Amino acid sequence: MQQVLVTGGGGFIGKALVRALVERGVRVTVVGRNRYPDLEPLGVECRRGDIRDADFLERACAGHDTVSHVAAKAGVWGPRTEYFAINLHGTENVLAACRKAGVERLVYTSTPSVVFDRQNLEGADERMPYARRPLCAYAASKIAAERAVLQADSARLRTIAIRPHLVWGPGDHHLIPRLLDRGRTGALKVVGDGTNRVDITYIDNAVQAHLRAAENLAASASGAGQAFFIGQEEPVNLWSWINTLFARVDIPPVRQRVPFALAWCVGLALETVHAALRLEREPRMTRFVAHQLTRSHWFNHRKAENLLGYRPAITTAEGVERLVAALGQT
């Protein structure tokens, strides 16, 4: 890799990836909707634009050998058309721009949500089929986008998808802040019996997976046209991990429990009300979230180990220490 374009380079994963690439001496261009004054002093070129703009993307991709496509509309609520316009059609624009500009490699940030079909996933590997009944537009749009990326693999443009799960760490402005806010206000409750285990991915490990994937495409390309689960290789009990983090930042542990059936019904009711009133804000509970908070979802990472050489460099315990330090706690 000599010159890499990162879509969504101003986001949590994207910005961490950009910094890692710069440290390696790679010339980096960021495509995003804003200017990023904290990146420009690093020598990063920031191109302001939208991945829904095909002409803009073609110009931006020119002169790059690799594209890391991180940009996406995340979340579990919002117009289905917007999710597909950004996550699917935006990805199709990225692929088309890569072909026209002669980009050789594309690494796509996918999600394990593409295989989550409401059941427990325990040690699941990449043979798991795509979900047939995704409960939110985000998952449905990412399924379509990942398929497009993997089907686009060719001798001219090698493609690969990584599926990091629940990425967290310093710099996160979504998952961890929401957890802490709901913990402080007492709004967070254990859904189900509290025994579910999940994969989580420390930010540095997600970045390492991106780099390993790009290196694989540049060398043997043995992972080309394939998807890879990425995590800590040590699933955690979701609620124990949350309470461990809360204890470090002086937040009372989550003790109150809500049956899954009740959470699911509340989610359905809130989704119905929000849709009827066309409310833009995310409901406090959705059916997808109820399933995610109740089910186990952890994965086998052997394929990433064997083909990409991926092994998490930062343990979960070390990640918590770094996060707590970043939050200004002891």
Domains and CATH numbers, the chain: 3-169+199-232+296-313 (3.40.50.720)
> How is residue 245 written in tokens?
């983090």
Q: How confident is the model at residue 329 (pLDDT cuts 50, 70, 90)?
A: low
List, for residues 89-115, the tens digit of each pLDDT value.
999 999 999 999 999 999 999 999 999
E strands in the chain: 3-7, 27-32, 45-48, 66-69, 105-109, 121-124, 158-164, 167-168, 190-191, 197-198, 201-202, 227-230, 236-237, 257-258, 297-299
Distance CA 241, CA 239 (A): 5
Which sign, positive or negative, has the C-alpha torsion 288, 289, 292, 294? negative
List, for residues 254-287, the tens digit of each pLDDT value.
999 999 999 999 999 999 999 998 888 889 999 9
Closest CA to 299 of 240, 228, 241, 239: 228
Provide, rounded to the nearest whole percent, the portion of the chain with pLDDT above 90: 92
> How is residue 329 written in tokens?
């706690």
Measured from the Cβ of residue 261, the count of other Cβ atoms closer than 10 Å reads 11
Residue 172's identity, in one-letter code, is: D
* Mean pLDDT computed over 293-318: 96
* Mean pLDDT computed over 21-25: 96
Q: What is the mean pLDDT of the chain?
A: 95
138 is catalytic: yes
> How is residue 186 written in tokens?
């007492």
In sequence order, the 6+-apart residues with CB closer than 8 A to the CB of 182 are 188
* Mean pLDDT computed over 22-26: 96
List, for residues 295-304, the tens digit of each pLDDT value.
999 999 999 9
Annotated catalytic residue within 83, 108, 130, 138? 138
In this prediction, residue 45 carries a pLDDT of: 95
The answer to whether the beta carbons of residues 33 and 22 sit under 8 Å apart is: no
Q: How confident is the model at residue 134 (pLDDT cuts 50, 70, 90)?
A: very high
> Is residue 1 over pLDDT 80?
no
Distance CA 111, CA 164 (A): 6
CA dist 60 → 38, 73, 93, 200 (Å): 20, 20, 12, 33
In sequence order, the 6+-apart residues with CB closer than 8 A to the CB of 322 are 169, 170, 202, 314
Closest CA to 179 of 11, 323, 13, 17: 323
> How is residue 108 written in tokens?
């796509």
In this prediction, residue 26 carries a pLDDT of: 97
- For 181-231, give the DSSP string: HHHHHT---EETTS--EE--EEHHHHHHHHHHHHHHHHTT-TTTT-EEEES
Longest dimension (CA), the chain: 55
> Is residue 11 over pLDDT 90?
yes
- Supply the pTM of this predicted model: 0.95
Residue 57's identity, in one-letter code, is: L
> Is residue 330 over pLDDT 70?
no
What is the DSSP code (8-state) at residue 274? H
